[in-house]
Chain A
């Protein structure tokens, strides 16, 4: 708390700007990759920026009510908040964000903040597809939360702390100190959970463009949608940063951050392009079986 508050806010804004740009670009890159895998040329990697600017520019805007109006705000506040509670780069004042607010538990629960608000906003639109999407999304979320939580418990056992910075510090020195190598089972479980979090195939039934046109955000448009698109970049990046910190030794500078998050993201992208979609109940069963067992094994090994 040495840094004055104003400076702190300024730093956070910088940090936020960087992560927003990186997050959105990452999205663009992934679309490019998808296109290439499917034999298309695909949009340029800056396409997300163009999309956002375009949607902001829409003139007409309707609202279904106050919660509908607030939904996107909740959503992006959730994304930004999640990021702000994670120390992004070890030792950097600018990128330490507001991580003094709380430990990894705070981050885990703050993830829900945006999802809840979004769900409420989508709910007020009265669109059945939104509700269906939310029902699916929440259901899937409860399932992947299990391996994710268990692998975090495994990390806590391993490092005796909930403090993210301490966890990152403990992984410094050598690549072999990374949780990835010291605790591979927990990492695998968490990465499988990440597939669900990112809602790529095979866990994309929440958005299911052909069935329930993009699910929860169906009714959102214009500035609402722009906010949500922005959030998609930030939130994605925030999750990746969290994973990087917990399992991949964190980052000591911005380049390490970019490389590591990119690599982590590629895992779900690769899986995403190679698999078809699960039904909701199938993905629930999957998450509660394979990755959960792996994570439990990780804990058992540590306790023993």
Chain B
């Protein structure tokens, strides 16, 4: 399976502050009563974006200045809680293509990589610096260079971190591992035999 090699993501940014933002907040459970991921973008961060009557609350994702954003910026432990892939699916379908945060919960991070969404970590100070620029100049183009592990904006830049395994998978266009996993078929059979409990 040939996939796009994801070397960089370029676009406007939007800052959703806070730490421990969980996947229930990213996509409330009631919107998971579905059998496809289509249409989930509409419910991205629904309860913090919308009043119960469906009208907008003040929220960065409702601010027209950030409507075109491709890069989400947030705090520590982003995506914690439920393993629901509906969260990164909603994020992607909302139009975002990458996340910069102080840290990520592991299942969310893994789900994002599998969908080709780079998640990179930055220091609190760098997140704050970029957040301030985005607030002052929403039109600023933010470029995440996955290869060099740097984020560029205006005339500034800072280092970000992404584990080598995720970086390599994105750069090589192998972020969806299914093809490689299928290739391992004979080795899988051997291991399944060896563990001793998987016979029919």
Task: Please determine whether chains A and B interact with each other in the same assembly.
Answer: no
Q: What residues make up the interface of B, taking CB atoms closer than 8 Å to A?
A: none
